[in-house]
Structure 1
Amino acid sequence: MTIRRLCGALRVRGAADLLLALLLGTGFAALPVLALLPGLWGFAAASAVTYAADEALHSRAPGFVRRLATLQLTRTLRFAVRTVMLLALATRLDAPDTVLVAALAVFSAHFALMTLYTAVHIAIRRRRVLPLVVRNIDMSALPVPERPPALLYRRSLRKLLHLDLPAHLGLLAALATGTWAAAWAGLALTAGVSAAALLALLAQYRRARRMPVRDEVFAEVNRQLAALRPEVALYFSFASVSRDFMYQVNMWIETLEQLGRRPVIILRERASFRYLSRTWIPVVCVPKADDLAELDLAGVRVVLYPGNAGKNVHMLRVAEAKHVFIGHGDSDKLASSNRVSKVYDEIWVAGRAGRDRYQRVRHAISDSSIVEVGRPQLSPIRTHAEHVPGPVPVVLYAPTWEGWSDDDCHTSLIPMGVTLVERLLTEDVRVVYKPHPLTGKRSAEAAEADRTIRALLRADNERRGAADAEAALAAVRPRLREIQTRLDELAGRHDGDDAEQLRASRPADRTGAAEWQDLRDEWHRLFREAHGPVRHTVVVRPLPTLYECFNQADILISDVSSVVADFVASLKPYVLTNARDLPDDEFRAAYTTAGGAYLLDRDCTRLTGILDSVRGVRTDPMAPDRRTLKEYVLGPDTPSSMERFDTAAAALAAKAAAEQVDARTELAA
């Protein structure tokens, strides 16, 4: 426990990183002692340890490096301390004055050149920041210079600081041998390479000055948008809060691609691009509100909003379009019946349950503004009849996060999550644990419960004998990485800046959809086979997907959230956690999805009985209630959700177009 607390305080992930941090501190503490003794070989060893530990921690524990920076122990300062201690050692070992003066001059010049290099690097980076970024739009006509070579541009400070190594090694070698040729060679090499690096970057700065100006960028983007003529826009802001919110956009991409109207995606944070899924839909990211107003979106008739974010007002002011809140899941949480939704022209819900939920917010949302469109995303979910059970039941535990406030906190992790998993491990089941992506963002208790559950599952896997599974996982990891790399390529993800993203943007190749799906199917198959039928699994990455976890599960245990509403589509049994131990009737009356659920008490005393009641299909007493609930929550099976969604979009677009014609006629009159 002490080690865990120390790791938390130092922002390191485990014992290995903690050892590196201690080595770094010990090495720096030893440098002044060994310089003053003097101890040449000890100093050389301590210096090597600080170099190696510093570099390793930058890769393995960036949180620890940032913690050092907040304490003013920046990397530049650490390099400067090492240099000063080396000069102190050279003085104590009676190095010639000419060597000491030259070394001081070279090291001073090196740090001065590093400062100039950083200033030029910042200037280039700022010039390459554009007012917008796009994807799947042809920007080949815009003369955007290439990004500077990675050798000069990426992690430049780390590389430039390490140019002091020749001088350090040369001076240490000279002190050891008593001949000073090595010192002169090392000092000359450090000074020469540092100056050459600065000159090379200055040449890149000249190229960066040829970046197109703001008006040129908007003119070209608007010209392309005029040619594309988008009619429906998906608008999203929130990625600046956390990258984990991007699932709210990604879940709607396939639905947008199947629309009968031409779509466009509008994002507000640059971080969104890194986590956006594959799509052929044109994408425009405009961080500033003033710049958003410069976009020519005259043809857009319908704007869809998957989240209630403050920046939505920047798009809501477009009076010519109709604005629709579609959300990112249908749940019994407050967010799914928020009074803020009154600002939209329409609210699209999955089924009758969504309509009734909004009607309970009295005097807020009119019934005529609510449209039932189903959940088009749920088509990949296999039903209970299609499910093939494994050798042991698979229990999917998918708790929600702690919410923005305690008033809307439905997570079971804090009050009963650890107890639940401990009880599950006494049953003959396999646990798939998939916490919400935002788990632990607000509550330290939730984060601690999450860590404890992962440790319990890891320990039980070891008890079950996980050697074969670990070997199987190790065998498929290279192929899984290859697939993920190719998926990233198909999604258009790269580590370039704004200018590079704009420069590389071209119309998407729609034929990539088949390869994308085949690769995802292969990834899931390899992942399942490697984990085997009895090994517990913790899912915290985008793959495997939530719906893939649904398809593998025999039963779901979750909290009040949209996960449950989506799982209803499978008609499989599910359990809702009743962490406050409300009476069953009161709990079912408060939460719609509880109508087809088994209810689990805080102490999990009902767990064994619930599992026994669903181990056989014929002994599942809640099955009829789930069939009734499915239509109430998700709408009828026919017409399909996609058809209803497309019909709603077409009707609203036609209404917006008619209103614009009427407005122009009235203005002309």
Structure 2
Amino acid sequence: MTIRRLCGVLRVRGATDLLLVLLFGAGFAALPVFALLPSLWGFTAAAALTYVTDEVLHSRAPGFVRRLATLQLTRPLRFAVRTVMLLALASRLDASDTVLVVALAVFSAHFAMMMLYTAVHHAIRRRRVLPLVVRNLDMSELPIPRQPPALLYRRFLRKLLHLDVPAHAGLLAALFAGGRQFAYTGFALTVGVTAVAALALLGQYRRARRMPVKDEVFAEVNRQLADYRPEVALYFSFAAVSRDFMYQVNMWIETLEQLDLRPVIILREKASFRYLSRTWIPVVCVPKADDLAELELSGVKVVLYPGNAGKNVHMLRVAEAKHVFIGHGDSDKLASSNRVSKVYDEIWVAGRAGRDRYQRVRHAISDSAIVEVGRPQLSPIRLHAEHVPGPLPVVLYAPTWEGWSDDDCHTSLIPMGVPLIEKLLAENVRVIYKPHPLTGKRSAEAAAADKEIRELLRADNEQRGAAEAEAAVAEARPRLKEIQARLDELAGRHGGDDAAQLREARVPDRAAAAEWQELRAEWHRVFWETRGQVRHNVILKSLPTLYDCFNQADILISDVSSVVADFVASLKPYVLTNAHDLPDDEFRAAYTTAGGAYLLDRDCTRLPDILDSVRAPHTDPMSASRRALKEYVLGPDHPTSMERFNTAVNTLAAKAERERAQQTTDLAA
């Protein structure tokens, strides 16, 4: 317990990292001791230890490094301390005054050139910050200089600091040998290489001064948009920008690409822009509200919102367009029937369940503003009748996260996640564990439960003798990485900063969509084939997709969330966690998706009986309820969801066009 508490305080992951931290601290504590004794061998060993542990901790324990920075023990300060201790050692060993003076001058010059380099680097970076970033528009006419080479530009401080190694090594070698030549050679290398790097970066600064100004950038983007003439916009913003939220946009991309009208995607945070999936649709990322008003979007008739966020008001003020909340999944959470949705012209839901959910919010949303459009994204989900079971039942456990506050905490991880996994392992099933991307972001208890579940699955894999599967996984890793690299390339994820992204933006070849689908299918095939049929899997990244996990599973265990509503499309058995042990009737009345679910109590006593529905399908009493619930939650199968969604877009766009024409007539009159 003491070690765990200490790891928490120091922000390290385990005993290995804790040992590195202790060695790191011992090394720095030993430097002044060995410098004053003096002990040349001891100092050399301590200095080498601090170099190595400092570097390793940056990659293994970034939380600890950030904790040091909050205590003002920054990396430059640590390097400066080591340098001062080296000079003290040289003085104690009676090094010549000339060597000491030259050493002091060299280290001072090195730090001075680092400050110059940092100032120039910041100046270049500021000049390369543009008011927007785009994808899938041809920006080749903009005269944007290339990004400085990665050797000069990326992680520059780390590289510059380590240029003191020749000087340190040379001075130590001179102290060992009793001469000066090693010291002067090391000094020359440190100063020479640092000076060359600074001069090279100054040359890059001259190029950066030729960056186009804001008006030029907007003029070119608006010219491209005028040629494309967008009619439908998907607008997305989220305050806590990260890849965790981009699924809310990515799930709608294929639907947008099939519309009759021309779509455009508008994002507000550059951090989220990096994780956008492949699409040929033009994408514009505009962080500032004033800049958003500069975009030429006069032809946009319908704006779609997959999320409720404060920055939505910057687009809602466009009165000429119709604004629609489409959400990012139907669920029984309060977020799926938020009174804030009243600000939109219409709210599009999957089926009758969504309409009823909003009608329960009295005096907030009118029934005429709700349109049932289905869930076009669910077409990749295979039906229960098409599923071929393996030797072991496959249970997908996909808990939701802890929410923004305790009031909306629906996750089962904290009250019952660990015992649930323990009981599943005792039932001899295969577990696919896919937690919500935000799991543990707010709650330390949820993070701890998540970590313990992963450890339980890892340990059980070892007991099952999954060494053969692990070998297959390792063998397939290079191919998966190769496919992922090509997928990133097709998605338009170029390396470099915002200016480099804008410089490389081009209109994509729509034929690449076929290659994209083939590669994703191959990625999933290789992934699942190499995992074998008994190995548990922890899914934390965007691939494999949630829907592909659905297709692998025989049964789902989840919490109240949109995951359950989507899984209903498969007609497979599913389980809702009833962590508060509400009476069954009360729980089913509160949550629509519970109508076709098995309910799992907090102690998981019902689990063996529930799993019988998978082992012996004829004993599945909830199958009829699931069929009825599917149409209620997701709408009818005919016409298809895509047809209904496309019709809703066309109808609302035509209404917006009529109102614009009427407004023009009224103004003329």
Partner residue in 2 for 1:577: 577
| Post-superposition CA distance 1:486-545 (Å, at most 9, x none) | 111111113311110100000012122122111111111121122111111111111111
Instruction: Tell me the alpha carbon deviations over residues 543-576 of structure 1, each in whole angstroms, 9 at most, x when there is no partner.
Output: 1110011001000011100000000000000011
Alpha-carbon offset, residue 45 of structure 1 = 1.6
Deviations 1:134-174 (A, max 9, x none): 00110000000110111111111011111111111111111
Partner of 2:216: 216
Q: What SS is found at the alignment partner of 2:274?
A: helix
- Please give the alpha-carbon distance, in whole angstroms, between the structure 1 residues aligned to 2:329 and 2:5: 37
Deviates more, 1:1-10 or 1:139-148: 1-10
Q: Name the CA distance, whole Å, in 1 between partners of 2:179 and 2:60.
A: 39
> Would you say the 8 A contact 2:431–2:537 is kept in 1?
yes
SS of alignment partner, residue 324 of structure 2: strand
Which residue of the partner structure matches residue 204 of structure 1? 204
CA distance, structure 2, for counterparts of residue 346 and residue 277 of structure 1: 27
Displacement, 1:3?
3.6
- Does the 8 Å contact 1:239/1:271 carry over to 2? no
Secondary structure, counterpart of 1:275 in structure 2: coil
**8 A Cα contact 1:350 1:375, kept in partner:** yes
- Quote the Cα distance in structure 2 between the aligned partners of 1:644 and 1:521: 27
Structure 1 residues without counterparts, runs of 5 or longer: none
Structure 2 letter corresponding to 1:199: L
Q: Does 1:31 align with 2:31?
A: yes
Q: Could you tell me how far apart the structure 2 residues matched to 1:614 and 1:524 are?
A: 24
Give SS of 2:117's match: helix
Letter of the 2:382 partner, please give it.
R
Distance 2:279 2:11 in 1: 36
The answer on whether the counterparts of 2:349 and 2:371 sit within 8 Å (CA) in structure 1 is yes
Q: Which residue of 2 aligns with 1:265?
A: 265
Structure 1 CA distance, aligned partners of 2:549 and 2:162?
47
Measure how far apart 1:8 and its partner are.
2.9
Give how far 1:64 is off: 2.0
Q: Deviations over 1:325-375 (max 9, x none)?
A: 000000000000000000000000000000000000000000000000000
Report the CA distance between 1:62 and its aligned residue. 2.1
Letter in 1 for 2:190: T
State whether structure 2 residue 570 is matched by structure 1 residue 554: no
2:295 aligns to what SS in structure 1? coil
Which whole-Å CA distance do the structure 2 matches of 1:52 and 1:401 have between them? 38
Is 1:640 aligned with 2:657? Answer: no
The equivalent of 1:434 in structure 2 is 434
Could you say which residue in structure 1 is the equivalent of 2:519?
Answer: 519
Is 41-50 or 55-64 further displaced after alignment? 55-64
Aligned to 1:588: 588
2:503 corresponding residue in structure 1: 503
Which residue does 1:13 correspond to in 2? 13
Which residue pairs with 1:415 in the alignment? 415
- Give TM-score, length-normalised by structure 1: 0.99
2:391 aligned partner, one-letter code: P
The answer on whether the counterparts of 1:170 and 1:187 sit within 8 Å (CA) in structure 2 is yes
Corresponding position of 2:338: 338
For 2:317, the equivalent position in structure 1 comes to 317
Map Cα deviations across residues 19-41 of structure 1 (whole Å, 9 max, x no partner): 33222212111111111111112
Q: Is the 8 A contact 1:240 1:271 kept in 2?
A: no
**What are the residue-to-residue correspondences of 1:84-233 with 2, within 5 Å?**
84-233=84-233
Question: Is the Cα–Cα contact under 8 Å of residues 130 and 499 in structure 1 kept in the other structure?
Answer: yes
Counterparts of 1:417 and 1:172, CA distance in 2: 56
Distance between the aligned counterparts of 1:279 and 1:57, measured in 2? 38
Q: Which residue is 2:55 aligned to?
A: 55
1:396 is aligned to 2:396: yes
Report the CA distance between 1:239 and its aligned residue.
6.1
Aligned partner letter, 2:61:
A
Higher mean alpha-carbon deviation, 22-31 vs 537-546, is at: 22-31
Partner of 2:235: 235
Question: What residue in structure 1 maps to residue 658 of structure 2?
Answer: 658
Task: Encode CA deviations 1:214-268: one digit per residue, 9 max, x unaligned.
Answer: 1110010000000010111110011644330111011111111111111100000
* Aligned equivalent of 1:467: 467
State the partner residue of 1:293. 293
Q: Deviations over 1:410-460 (max 9, x none)?
A: 111111111111111110211111111111111111111111111111111
SS state at 2:198 partner: helix
Amino acid aligned to 1:374: G
**CA distance, structure 2, for counterparts of residue 478 and residue 67 of structure 1:** 35
1:367 corresponds in structure 2 to 367
CA distance in 1, matches of 2:323, 2:110: 57
2:381 and 2:550 in contact (8 A); partners too: yes
Say whether the 8 Å CA contact 1:239–1:272 is kept in structure 2: no
- Contact 1:578–1:602 (8 Å) recurs in 2: yes
TM-superposition CA deviations, 1:112-147 (whole Å, max 9, x none): 111111011001001100000000110000000110
Contact 1:273 1:493 in 2 (8 A): no
Query: Which secondary structure state, in structure 1, belongs to the residue aligned with residue 103 of structure 2?
Result: helix
Q: Distance in 2 between matches of 1:44 and 1:213?
A: 52
Instruction: Point out the more displaced range, 366-375 or 423-432.
Output: 423-432
Q: Secondary structure at the match of 2:426?
A: coil
CA distance in 2, matches of 1:407, 1:102: 65
Shift of the alpha carbon at 1:387? 0.2
CA distance in structure 2 between the aligned counterparts of 1:124 and 1:637, rounded to whole angstroms: 56
Amino acid at match of 2:604: C
Aligned counterparts of 2:376 and 2:193: Cα–Cα separation in 1: 59
Aligned CA distance change for structure 1 residues 651 and 285 (closer, same or farther; 3 Å): same
Q: Distance in 2 between matches of 1:22 and 1:443?
A: 28
Alignment of 1:266-285 (within 5 A): 266-285=266-285
For residues 199 and 166 of structure 1, the distance between their equivalents in structure 2, rounded to whole angstroms, comes to: 20
Which amino acid is 1:548 matched to?
A: D
- In 2, Cα distance between equivalents of 1:548 and 1:9: 39
Moved more, 330-339 or 403-412: 403-412
What amino acid maps onto 2:179 in structure 1?
A: T
Cα contact 2:306–2:327 (8 A) shared by 1: yes
Q: Is the 8 A contact 2:170 2:187 kept in 1?
A: yes
CA displacement at 1:480 relative to structure 2: 1.2
**Which residue of structure 1 aligns with residue 347 of structure 2?**
347
The answer to which of 243-252 and 492-501 deviates more is 492-501
Deviation by residue 1:2-28 (Cα, 9 ceiling, x = unmatched): 444333332233333333322221211
| Counterpart-to-counterpart distance in 2, 1:227 and 1:171 | 65
Distance 1:405 1:13, change over 3 A: same
Contact 1:239 1:246 in 2 (8 A): no
Name the structure 1 match of 2:488.
488
Q: Secondary structure at the match of 1:425?
A: helix
Q: Aligned partners of 1:519 and 1:510: how far apart in 2?
A: 15
| Residue matched to 2:478 | 478
Measured in 1, the distance between the counterparts of 2:345 and 2:505 equals: 33
- The amino acid of 1:336's aligned partner reads S
Partners of 2:441 and 2:495 in 1: how far apart?
26
What is the alpha-carbon distance in structure 1 between the residues aligned to residue 619 and residue 402 of structure 2? 34
Show structure 1 runs of 4+ deviating over 4 A: none
Identity %: 83
SS in 2 for 1:441: coil
Contact 1:402 1:442 in 2 (8 A): yes
Aligned length: 669
Conservation of the 8 A alpha-carbon contact between 2:332 and 2:591: yes
Find the residue that maps to 2:76 and give its secondary structure: helix
Quote the offset at 1:465 in angstroms.
Answer: 1.3
| CA RMSD in angstroms, aligned pairs only | 1.1
Counterpart of 2:643, as a letter, is E
Contact kept? 2:241, 2:271, Cα under 8 Å: no
